[in-house]
Structure 1
């Protein structure tokens, strides 16, 4: 069954280029040129992944991300000409999984798209402990859910990917390079700033005191460790 991609961009030439390139590689492509159409297409078309431009004519891209995140955790890949780190953080905080800056290389975009879909599809190994409980939160590896104080915590697929790798290796040091390769793929082995952003987000959502984490620990210069 082919993967369905929803591409949202108000530039017709980018929509056309992405539709042609993705269709040629076996993807089913839905398109939208504004935020309202994108939200309808996401609800009606049930895409597996969304590629979203932030600069839309009717809604800000972050609003579209929040709208989609209100009911689904499908991967959202932001494609934007905005290079300011504040825009990137706002998009990631709204629930985006990755951020590609225009102009972009098609090979890089496709690699990130594949990685996003792969992260969303990973399932726990057979016989593995399915539910991991800490004093602060509970991780269910089968249902891909996290609960804190009895309430489900919404994680993006990328946040889940990072948490999943760490919880499966609980108590062990996971090297930065290994974590990047497991979550983003081999091409991202040196992008350590990704980990700082995502660990900070996970701590904000899960740790009682994010500035003094008890469970999601940094081993300076080496990697990260999940502690019960």
Structure 2
């Protein structure tokens, strides 16, 4: 597909959400996997199919918007157990459960654990496609947030120790004179460090810098 190839080419020099979204399918029924593969491919996404939870877990984390269409009744490790297993490190991959014998407690358990949809077979193609579209949108938002955090962390890593000290005090509300008094440096030196912090952090304003510090969880440890 030309569009997919173009997206994969552009992804090397652009942000993650521009890559072709991946729809992972974990179902032990080969007929279900084959039908979903065709449906997903026709919708313009990239299907990745697995017959068991173990096979899926052996797959490295995808660096693209993605979602997981997951059967509940898998052999060995079932769908609900797999959901628990990946809850911590694959938060950017929403889960859509599919099952042939769902019940209310099972549905509640899955949704409370973060699933975005719980579909009982048989279900219409458009119902599943809408769920996948919603899941991929959420994945794109999550990946975008992760990318912003990564950029901020890289900027923060470029600060010197003194610049980090100045930043901590500035975002906690200290004036330049107060910062200088606490660090034992002149107000002029504080202004120089503060300017370096703003430039290196690519902050447009003090409120912008405070938001960055909050994302880095720096403000929670600052003095009032």
Determine helix, strand or coil for the equivalent of 1:113. helix
Determine helix, strand or coil for the equivalent of 2:106. helix
The residue that corresponds to 1:119 in the other structure is: 138
- Alpha-carbon displacement from aligned partner over 1:172-195 (angstroms, at most 9, x marks no partner): xxxxxxxxxxxxxxxxxxxxxxxx
- Alpha-carbon displacement from aligned partner over 1:43-81 (angstroms, at most 9, x marks no partner): 354561110000001112111011111212111111111
Tell me if structure 2 keeps the 8 A contact 1:76–1:97: yes
The residue that corresponds to 1:4 in the other structure is: 22
Q: 1:75 aligns with which of 94, 104, 124?
A: 94
Determine helix, strand or coil for the equivalent of 2:68. strand
Cα distance in 2, alignment partners of residues 16 and 116 from structure 1: 21
- Alpha-carbon displacement from aligned partner over 1:11-39 (angstroms, at most 9, x marks no partner): 10000000111112211111111111122
Determine helix, strand or coil for the equivalent of 1:79. strand
Cα distance in 1, alignment partners of residues 74 and 110 from structure 2: 14
The residue that corresponds to 1:103 in the other structure is: 122
Cα distance in 2, alignment partners of residues 116 and 44 from structure 1: 16
Q: 2:70 aligns with which of 37, 49, 52?
A: 52
The residue that corresponds to 1:85 in the other structure is: 104
- Aligned Cα RMSD in Å? 2.9
TM-score between both structures, scaled by the size of structure 1:
0.51
Cα distance in 2, alignment partners of residues 46 and 57 from structure 1: 28
- The answer for unaligned runs of 5 or more in structure 2 is 1-18, 146-210
Q: 2:40 aligns with which of 15, 22, 30?
A: 22
Q: CA deviation at 1:83?
A: 2.6
Q: 2:57 aligns with which of 39, 42, 60?
A: 39
- Alpha-carbon displacement from aligned partner over 1:84-106 (angstroms, at most 9, x marks no partner): 11010111233322111111111
The residue that corresponds to 2:153 in the other structure is: none
Tell me if structure 1 keeps the 8 A contact 2:61–2:90: no
TM-score between both structures, scaled by the size of structure 2:
0.52
Q: CA deviation at 1:114?
A: 0.2
Q: Which has the higher strand share?
A: 1
**Of the two, which has the highest radius of gyration?**
2
Tell me if structure 2 keeps the 8 A contact 1:66–1:95: no
Cα distance in 1, alignment partners of residues 109 and 22 from structure 2: 26
